[in-house]
């Protein structure tokens, strides 16, 4: 019986690209309810979890640094009681 080879580098790079695409589409990747590809694959393949988590934190920092302050202020002023 042969085992299936899993290319973890390719999976990581695909997950990174998909997460960057979410950023380009305007998703807040720091939102706890959003499961990114990096997060999903980190959970599925423990062998690359640390690498995925590090990349996700770097992307979150990058997104936070490039988000206009007025957008951050508007987002934080949303009335969640009416939700």
pLDDT for residue 59: 96
The per-residue pLDDT string of the chain (83 residues; one tens digit each, 9 = 90 and over) reads 566 888 999 999 999 999 999 999 999 999 999 999 999 999 999 999 999 999 999 999 999 998 766 555 445 555 555 54
User: Is residue 45 domain-resident?
Assistant: yes
User: Is residue 25 domain-resident?
Assistant: yes
Tell me the C-alpha distance between 47 and 13, whole Å: 14
Tell me the C-alpha distance between 55 and 12, whole Å: 10
User: Is residue 26 domain-resident?
Assistant: yes
User: Is residue 1 domain-resident?
Assistant: no
Total domains in the chain come to: 1
User: Is residue 2 domain-resident?
Assistant: no
> Are 38 and 8 in contact, with CB atoms under 8 Å apart?
no
User: Is residue 12 domain-resident?
Assistant: yes
């Amino acid at each position: 019986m042969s085992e299936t080879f899993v290319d973890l580098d390719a999976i990581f790079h695909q997950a990174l690209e998909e997460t960057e695409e979410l950023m380009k589409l305007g998703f807040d990747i720091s939102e706890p309810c959003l499961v990114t590809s990096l997060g999903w694959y980190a959970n599925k393949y423990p062998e690359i979890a640390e690498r995925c988590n590090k990349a996700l934190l770097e992307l979150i920092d990058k997104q936070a640094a490039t988000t206009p302050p007025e957008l951050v202020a508007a987002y934080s002023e949303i009335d969640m009681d009416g939700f």
